[in-house]
Structure 1
Amino acid sequence: MASDQGNNQSVERAVSVLRAFLAGPPELRVSDVVRHTGLGASTTSRLLTTLESLDYVERDGVSGLYRLGVAPITLGGVALNQHPVHREARQLGQELAARVGLGVNVAVRRSASLFYLLNFEGPLAPRNTVLSGQRKPLHATGLGKCLLLALDAGERRALLPDEALRPFTARTLTSHRALDEHLAEAARRGYATEVEELAHGRSCVAAPIRDRSGAITAAISISGPLSTVDLDRRKRELARAVIEAADSVSVALGYVGPPGPGTDAGPPAGAAARAGGRS
């Protein structure tokens, strides 16, 4: 038992060292890692040396600073390739981004935040970083709102207590009453919107993705700069496009739609048709 505890502690310490690279500058001194982890300098140096030998970190030969190595990329790639939503949404997302000229993102919920599985950039929404692996708040994003549709009002309050609904801009929804109203409208029309609620100058349209059981398992969005998303002019077009994409991924995951009268199951719900009839 003592040996197991010691091994577990070693793993936890190694993971804490890797997590030190997830926020802040990409290259760190040993002292920076010590500050992030709370570990001793000798322990930190020993762990960094071991992680370097395994390609989890690498050390710059000139500056002596450490950065993440290539091994985490290999693990991340394998994990993504094994995820069913990523497999079914990847090609579709790439084609959609090229067609509408904007960013296309797919995310799942992990506890009280959304977790990006993939993103593609259209020519009107360029990025110099990837979103895969990043986490964002549920209440301040279109993707997050779609994922919250999987929960009832009581479950949402248990997951996100009032203090968790913190503002990021003046437009962030910071009360459950406002969030409930927004989600009720999103459920009715089949898509959610977000306009400068997480960051100034950004907006998106998102729709939920369902698995074979009918449960909301992921969400897909079309996003970009406020001026190019142009919801005043393009909301109907983009809503229809994102709902059709969500329906396609849902079908690929085995979703056949809600049961129809006198049948065991009907076709996908056809939210895209509803989106085409209202803004």
Structure 2
Amino acid sequence: MSGAVIAARGAAPGQVQSLVRALHVLRAVAAAPDGLILRDVARGVGLPVSTAHRLLTTLESERFVRANPDTGAWTVGPEAFAVGQGFVRARDIAALARPRLRALMQRWSETASLYVEAEGGLVCVAQVESRQMMRAVARIGAVVGLHCTAAGKALLAALPAPERAAALATLDYPAHTARTLQDRAALAQALAETRARGWALDDEELVEGVRCAAAAILDHEGRPLAALSVSGPVGRVTPATLETLGAAVAATAAELSREMGWRGAAG
């Protein structure tokens, strides 16, 4: 039954049919604890056996599935596990961060958010909104740029120098406001300031009238896992309050880094 549903759905406009079919195949294999032989995979996704086999061997070449040489059953491979772990890490850090987000919002009366890197940008995965009438809000799941956000700068600044340089070389720098950093040199300078200060600043660079302070959360190896941010209208998040706000965000991010296993120096 599920195979008929999958087959009937096909690829929506704008989608790549072969990719959609491959994902259906991967989903079918993942749903079978003992694996599936080729014939059952094809039947489950409503495809010819030859097409299913071609998709399986392509997925196998990228280590997303593997075939048991004795039984012929296909099961998920290590790359599928690695991709799934990426989601688990994001989910776990979001659950861990939520009480801290709430505490930051209550202390500062501004929106506190958690971002992770995805698709060369940032995705907001958790947020506690300010109760103020005028407040900054990011849509959960929306992708925003690295160059124009405090969270993006925090993540970039926490990368090892060679990776940071490579990232800056490949980023696009679209302007969102008159204050958006629009070239590699300007962003590199901002990242140097971020590292020296211990927290990153978005000074009306993504949205006019909104300022944001952010700091990176590190994993057990000291690599940036996520970024914690507090954002609000410039009338309340003023230059006079930024230093204290940024330090509070950095201290909270350091606490979360320690909970994720990081034992090195902060910053």
TM class, shorter-chain normalised?
0.5 to 0.7
Indicate if the aligned counterparts of 1:81 and 1:87 stay in contact, CA closer than 8 A.
Answer: no
Say if 1:101 and 1:38 are closer, same or farther in 2 by CA, change over 3 A: same
Indicate if the aligned counterparts of 1:209 and 1:249 stay in contact, CA closer than 8 A.
Answer: yes
| SS of structure 1 residue aligned to 2:140 | coil
Say if 1:182 and 1:176 are closer, same or farther in 2 by CA, change over 3 A: same
What value does the CA root-mean-square deviation take over the aligned residues?
A: 3.2
| Of 232, 244, 258, the match for 1:237 | 244
- 1:1-279 equivalences under 5 Å are 13=11, 17=12, 83-124=91-132, 131-151=139-159, 155-156=163-164, 158-159=166-167, 161=169, 164-230=172-238, 232-258=239-265, 269=266
| SS of structure 1 residue aligned to 2:208 | coil
Q: CA deviation at 1:245?
A: 1.0
| CA distance in 2: counterparts of 1:175 and 1:81, whole angstroms | 32
- Using structure 2 for the length normalisation, give the TM-score: 0.64
Say if 1:126 and 1:160 are closer, same or farther in 2 by CA, change over 3 A: same
Say if 1:103 and 1:185 are closer, same or farther in 2 by CA, change over 3 A: same
Q: CA deviation at 1:124?
A: 3.2
- Using structure 1 for the length normalisation, give the TM-score: 0.61
Deviation digits for residues 105-159 of structure 1 (CA, Å, limit 9, x no counterpart): 1101113101111111123365697622111000000001111124456545644
Q: CA deviation at 1:247?
A: 1.0
Q: CA deviation at 1:89?
A: 0.3
Give, as a single letter, the amino acid of the residue that structure 2 aligns with 1:134: A
**124-133 or 239-248, which deviates more:** 124-133
| CA distance in 2: counterparts of 1:89 and 1:184, whole angstroms | 26
| CA distance in 2: counterparts of 1:126 and 1:80, whole angstroms | 33
Structure 1 unaligned residues grouped into runs of 5+: 18-33, 40-78, 259-268, 272-279
Number of residue pairs matched? 196
Give, as a single letter, the amino acid of the residue that structure 1 aligns with 2:212: C
Deviation digits for residues 195-225 of structure 1 (CA, Å, limit 9, x no counterpart): 1111111110111110111111111111011
The aligned residue for residue 73 of structure 2 is none
